[in-house]
């Protein structure tokens, strides 16, 4: 079997998604997700200009060899653009292999280790009453675990509360490529946040009791000393985890956090390779690894990461926001079902139009996902509908302190 074609499809059914479609001489196709939120077209170019020419003529079954040749052969290793491009190839090839085998992908990973995949959803509110309503809404949708984020008194816009991405408005003729969407500027004040969060968690526990698994994302904003103190202060609220307490690249900083708190820690959504985790895993400084299939080079390296994490009793928690396409999400769910040290899967759902553009076999029911039994990853792209919703320039927000200093977002 030979790869005869590889095309990159960009569509925006509510937000931008980059999809790679690989076709073999036998007419089998595979899909991979290469969406890098706010920097989408860089991956499109990396794939179209530099990767696709290397794929034509290759045996699609040689996944590991293709992965290694794209990783080592580029010389310039790692980084989100490179690893998102490699991820798309990796997942598309696994999709093809599983389709040829006539099996859902999880079967090639050793079969199911559980019946279904538990998820957590996002609850957001500008203030505490709005947050409590949002938690109720998530519970009504079936979620059994909820991430809670609120506005902070004195700050206008903070992470998780207002729309995350600025998308360019459509012009009269519906063409959006010329429009400029510049990043939204959000506010930050670590002191106000640290004083407010315990009150938020107190209110949520008072309303929903001790049994509801609660998560919170600090989104890279604290120093190790601040994170150590916050983690200790909120221990009594029994979080499922505190996520990204410090900037992700600061691995040794987690030693300080870990010495002071038993609040479980989750890190890694912006990591691209196992090397980003080396200190964190070796020294057991975290409890959950958060990498996405889409930003970590695909399911091949993610399976290895999870095995490495398992040696320290660290569990998986694959990143699954709206900016991972249903293709990347499907691949994640197959992995979640198969690995032993599964922890939890983030799942925010998609716009109705996104479900139409990416028809998928995976299901969400009663707060749990299942990948379905369709051969491959179980996603089909409606290319006509995708083409009707073209790329729209978009940026993630930036964060500034009251005096104008840029802070981690
Ligand atoms: O801000 O995916 O845990 N989830 C997150 C996400 C990230 C976005 C960035 O593109 O932190 O909401
Ligand atoms: Co996060």
For residue range 206-233, list pLDDT tens digits in order.
999 999 999 999 999 999 999 999 999 9
Residue 350 falls within a domain, yes or no? Answer: yes
Residue 252, pLDDT > 50, answer yes
Cα of 271 to ligand 2 centre, how many Å?
A: 12
Asked if 154 and 58 sit in the same domain, the reply is no
Of 196, 219, 220, 360, the active-site residue reads 219
Closest CA to 186 of 409, 360, 27, 365: 409
Q: Is 159 tagged catalytic?
A: yes
* 126 and 182 belong to one structural domain: yes
Ligand 1 atom 10: the closest Cα is on which residue? 37
Cβ contacts of 231 within 8 Å, gap of 6 or more: 242, 245, 257, 260, 261, 262, 263, 265
Same domain as 94, residue 142:
no
Mutate-to-test residue for ligand 1 from 158, 164, 216, 293, highest number of ligand atoms within 8 A of CB: 164
Name the active-site residue from 120, 159, 277, 347: 159
pLDDT at residue 172, rounded to an integer: 45
Residue 18 has a CB neighbour count (10 Å cut-off) of 26
pTM of the model as a whole: 0.96
State how far the Cα of 381 lies from the Cα of 21, in Å rounded to an integer.
9
Q: What is the pLDDT of residue 221?
A: 98
Q: In the prediction, which pLDDT does 175 show?
A: 44
Give me the number of domains the chain comprises.
2
pLDDT for res 177: 46
For residue 269 and ligand 1, the question of a CB distance below 6 A is answered with yes
Tens digits of residue pLDDT in 287-304: 999 999 999 999 999 999
Domain end residue (candidates: 76, 104, 132): 104
95, 131: one domain: no
Q: Is residue 16 part of a domain?
A: yes
pLDDT surpassing 90 at residue 167: no
Say if residue 62 is in the same domain as residue 153: no
Q: Provide the phi-psi class of 229: left if phi over 0, else alpha when psi is between -120 and 50, else beta.
A: alpha
Range of the domain at 293: 117-373+395-407
CB 140 within 8 A of CB 371: no
- pLDDT per residue as tens digits for the range 18-37: 999 999 999 999 999 999 99
Are 180 and 249 in a shared domain? Answer: yes
- Tens digit of each residue's pLDDT (9 = 90 or more) over 116-146: 999 999 999 999 999 999 999 999 999 999 9
Q: Are residues 280 and 244 in the same domain?
A: yes
What does the pLDDT average to over 149-162? 90
Q: Find the ligand nearest to 244 CA.
A: 2
- Average pLDDT of the residues of the chain: 95
* Residue to substitute in 323, 348, 394, 396 for testing ligand 1 pocket (most ligand atoms within 8 angstroms of CB): 323
Residue 388 lies in a domain: no
pLDDT of residue 320: 98
Q: Is 217 in the pocket of ligand 1 (CB under 6 A)?
A: yes
Query: Looking at 83, 104, 125, which one is the last position of a domain?
Result: 104
Residue nearest to atom 2 of ligand 1 (CA): 321
pLDDT value of position 369? 98
Give yes or no: residues 151 and 292 share one domain: yes
Whole-number pLDDT of residue 171? 46
Is residue 124 in a domain?
A: yes
Q: Could you read off the pLDDT of 172-194 as tens digits, one per residue?
A: 444 444 456 789 999 999 999 99
Answer yes or no: do 34 and 138 share one domain: no
Last residue of a domain, one of 77, 104, 131: 104
Which pLDDT belongs to residue 163? 52
* Top-confidence residue, 309 or 176: 309
Considering every ligand atom, which ligand is closest to the CA of 397?
1
The predicted-structure confidence for 45-93, as pLDDT tens digits, reads as follows 999 999 999 999 999 999 999 999 999 999 999 999 999 999 999 999 9
Residue range 342-398, pLDDT digits in tens:
999 999 999 999 999 999 999 999 999 999 999 999 999 999 999 999 999 999 999
Residue located nearest, by CA, to atom 8 of ligand 1: 321
Ligand 1: does its nearest atom lie under 6 Å from the Cβ of 323? yes
CATH of the domain at 24: 3.30.390.10
Mean per-residue pLDDT, 240-247: 98
Q: Do residues 28 and 176 both lie within one domain?
A: no
Q: Are residues 172 and 317 in the same domain?
A: yes
- pLDDT of residue 276 exceeding 90, the answer is yes
Output the pLDDT for position 166. 67
Distance 358 CA to ligand 1 centre (A): 21
Per-residue model confidence (pLDDT) at position 401: 97
The verdict on residue 379 lying in a domain is no
Tell whether 213 and 290 lie within a shared domain.
yes
């Amino acid at each position: 079997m030979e790869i005869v074609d590889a095309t990159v499809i960009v569509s925006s059914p509510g937000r931008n998604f980059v999809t790679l479609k690989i076709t073999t001489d036998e007419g089998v196709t595979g899909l991979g997700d290469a969406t890098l939120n706010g920097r989408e077209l860089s991956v499109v170019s990396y794939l179209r200009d530099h990767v696709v020419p290397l794929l034509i003529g290759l045996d699609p079954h040689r996944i590991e060899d293709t992965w290694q040749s794209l990783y080592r052969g580029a010389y310039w290793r790692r980084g989100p653009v490179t690893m998102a491009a490699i991820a798309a190839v990796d997942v598309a090839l696994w999709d093809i292999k599983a389709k040829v085998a006539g099996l859902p992908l999880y079967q090639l990973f050793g079969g199911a280790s559980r019946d279904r995949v538990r998820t957590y959803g996002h609850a957001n509110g500008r203030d505490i009453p709005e947050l409590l309503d949002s938690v109720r809404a998530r519970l009504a949708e079936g979620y059994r675990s909820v991430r809670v984020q609120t506005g902070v008194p004195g700050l206008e816009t903070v992470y998780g509360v207002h729309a995350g991405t600025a998308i360019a408005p459509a012009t009269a003729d519906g063409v959006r490529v010329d429009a400029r969407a510049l990043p939204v500027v959000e506010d930050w004040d670590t002191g106000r946040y640290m004083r407010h969060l315990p009150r938020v968690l107190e209110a949520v526990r008072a309303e929903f009791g001790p049994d509801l698994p609660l998560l919170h994302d600090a989104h890279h904003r604290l120093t190790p000393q601040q994170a150590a103190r916050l983690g200790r202060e909120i221990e009594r609220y029994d979080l499922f985890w505190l996520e990204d307490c410090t900037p992700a690249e600061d691995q040794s900083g987690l030693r300080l956090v870990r010495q002071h708190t038993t609040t479980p820690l989750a890190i890694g959504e912006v990591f691209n390779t196992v090397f980003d985790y080396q200190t964190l895993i070796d020294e057991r400084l975290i409890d959950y690894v958060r990498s996405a299939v889409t930003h970590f080079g695909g399911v091949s390296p993610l399976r290895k990461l999870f095995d490495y994490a398992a040696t320290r009793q660290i569990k998986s928690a694959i990143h699954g926001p709206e900016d991972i396409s249903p293709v990347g999400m499907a691949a994640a769910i197959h992995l979640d079902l198969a690995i032993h040290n599964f922890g939890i899967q983030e799942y925010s759902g998609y716009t109705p139009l996104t479900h139409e553009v990416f028809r998928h076999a995976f299901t969400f029911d009663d707060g749990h996902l299942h990948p379905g039994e369709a051969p491959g990853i179980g996603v089909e792209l409606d290319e006509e509908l995708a083409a009707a919703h073209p790329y729209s320039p978009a940026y993630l927000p930036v964060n500034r302190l009251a005096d104008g200093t840029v802070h981690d977002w």
